[in-house]
With several copies, the nearest count.
Chain A
Amino acid sequence: AELRSFITNEQQRTRIQSQTHNLTDMCWKKCVTGPIKSGTLDKGDSTCLANCVERFLDVNIATMKHLSNMRQ
């Protein structure tokens, strides 16, 4: 039982990490558009990345609601 809940948690962690890789890739392309000038995120990059994640998830939720309304 302990092992089973460990496996379930691990599978969820893997899904979240994999989705984080996709989100980072997409939001990097949208937000970090100029040449690289330092190894840290400046204020603009940082705000854009946080907003990018939030807005993508808004769109995600809206799509699922829209499709589930259509089906009824």
Chain B
Amino acid sequence: MDSESVKRAIIKQVLTESNMANARQLIEKINDNCFDKCIPKPGSSVSSSEQTCITQCMEKYMAAWNQVNSAYLRRIQQEVGNNGGL
């Protein structure tokens, strides 16, 4: 294996691990927040209205994540522009 292939392998490995860690954190937060919101009193099964709530909650939480991410990145850019650091 030449040094260029080693480099590409390392980059691929780091990206995979970083994406997995990000997905894991997102799943944890969705579970905690949507369970809390949609299932205040856990019964003997997930009712159909709870199921609807959970599906909508997941989509809404991911939309919230995307919006927070954009707002955060925009602000970081702006602060870096203003005085070279957050």
- Which A residues have a C-beta under 8 Å from some C-beta of B? 2-3, 6-7, 10, 13-14, 16-21, 23-32, 35-41, 45-46, 48-64, 66-67
Could you say which of A19, A41, A45, A67 contacts B27, with CB atoms under 8 Å apart?
A: A67
In chain B, positions 26-60 with a C-beta closer than 8 Å to chain A are: 26-27, 29-35, 37-46, 51, 53-60
**Smallest Cβ distance from A34 to chain B, in angstroms?**
10
Q: What's the dominant secondary structure at chain A's contact region?
A: helix
Range for the number of chain B residues in contact with chain A: 35 or more
Q: Is the interface of B mostly helix, strand, loop or mixed?
A: helix
Contact (Cβ within 8 A) A52 B27 = no
A58 surroundings in chain B (CB, below 8 A) = 46
A residues in contact with B55, CB < 8 Å: 39, 62, 66
Quote the shortest CB–CB distance from B6 to chain A (angstroms): 9
Are B63's CB and A57's CB within 8 A? Answer: no
Task: Determine which of A21, A51, A53, A56 lies in contact with B26 in the assembled complex, contact meaning CB atoms within 8 Å.
Answer: A21
Is the pair B27, A20 in contact by a Cβ cutoff of 8 Å? no
Q: CB distance A59 to B44 under 8 Å?
A: no
Q: A10-B14, A36-B57, A41-B60 are in contact. List 4 more A-B contacts (CB 8 A).
A: A49-B71, A54-B71, A57-B75, A61-B86
**By the criterion CB–CB under 8 Å, are A41 and B35 in contact?**
no
Query: What would 17 A/B residue contacts be, using CB atoms closer than 8 Å?
Result: A10-B14, A13-B18, A17-B18, A20-B68, A21-B26, A25-B29, A30-B41, A37-B56, A39-B55, A39-B58, A56-B31, A57-B79, A59-B34, A61-B79, A62-B54, A67-B26, A67-B27
